[in-house]
């Protein structure tokens, strides 16, 4: 399993491309993510969304038009995307409408794509629809905007944000994963769960 990252859009958001011998899977779709995959000769089988904030979904419709299956924890929702807020801030955005092919929940068993199991774990607080994807076999966690490496956690000052809920979710659902698990967040560099457990000031 090979993971490569694309950082794109106004908010410098990370999208990840997971490649195996059987095919590829994309995690989140910031601006430029579709072309990033295309340039690598990859047409992902599925696109998993950690949440629907505007900066993670700009390229979703391009994936959908190419026949890629879209997975998210909620149906297409402008309210979850905060596009009105972004417009108010003057952030230039292009988030064409898309439809979610498969809505997963906390009860959904791991999503198996190309022989890899992505376990969706709900960690709300940054947004109500935030999930992280744990790939136990390869010790990787795609954490979206819940937990960042280098001492950060997701913002909770957006509508529907909840700081205490986020902290308790990180502590009970993320820090309980193996310390060696690689952290692949929605912004910034990669790290590990162990490093954050020891050094992240929000979690001490
Ligand atoms: Zn976000």
127-138 confidence digits (pLDDT tens): 999 999 999 999
Say if residue 9's pLDDT is above 90. yes
pLDDT value of position 90 = 87
144 CA distance to ligand 1 centroid (A)?
A: 7
43 CA distance to ligand 1 centroid (A)?
A: 25
83 CA distance to ligand 1 centroid (A)?
A: 12
b/e 41-51 (16+ beta carbons within 10 angstroms → b): ebebbbbbbbb
81 CA distance to ligand 1 centroid (A)?
A: 9
188 CA distance to ligand 1 centroid (A)?
A: 13
Tokens of 53: 């904030």
Q: What is the pLDDT of residues 19-28, one digit of tens each?
A: 999 999 999 9
| CATH code that applies to domain 2-203 | 3.60.15.10
Identify the bridge partners of residue 103 per DSSP, sorted by sequence position: 72
67 CA distance to ligand 1 centroid (A)?
A: 25
Say if residue 18's pLDDT is above 90. yes
Say if residue 75's pLDDT is above 90. yes
Q: Give residue 99's pLDDT band: very low, low, confident or very high (50, 70, 90).
A: very high
50 CA distance to ligand 1 centroid (A)?
A: 9
Pairing between strand 182-185 and 46-48?
unpaired
């Amino acid at each position: 399993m090979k993971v490569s990252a694309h950082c794109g859009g106004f908010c410098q958001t990370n999208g990840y491309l997971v490649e195996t011998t059987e095919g590829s899977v994309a995690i989140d779709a910031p601006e430029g993510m579709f072309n990033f995959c295309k340039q690598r000769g990859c047409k992902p089988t599925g696109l998993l969304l950690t949440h629907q904030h505007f900066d993670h979904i700009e390229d979703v419709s391009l994936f959908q038009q190419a026949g890629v299956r879209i997975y998210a924890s909620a149906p297409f929702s402008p309210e979850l995307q905060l596009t009105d807020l972004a417009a108010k801030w003057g952030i230039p955005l292009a988030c064409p409408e898309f439809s979610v092919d498969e809505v997963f929940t906390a009860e959904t068993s791991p999503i198996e794509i190309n022989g890899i199991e992505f376990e969706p774990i709900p960690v709300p607080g940054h947004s109500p629809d935030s999930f992280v994807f744990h790939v136990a076999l390869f010790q990787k966690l795609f954490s979206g905007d819940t937990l960042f490496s280098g001492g950060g956690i997701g913002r909770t000052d957006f509508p529907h944000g909840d700081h205490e809920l986020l902290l308790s979710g990180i502590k009970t659902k993320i820090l309980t994963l193996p310390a060696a698990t690689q952290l692949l967040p929605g912004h910034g560099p990669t790290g590990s769960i162990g490093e954050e457990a020891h050094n992240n000031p929000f979690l001490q």
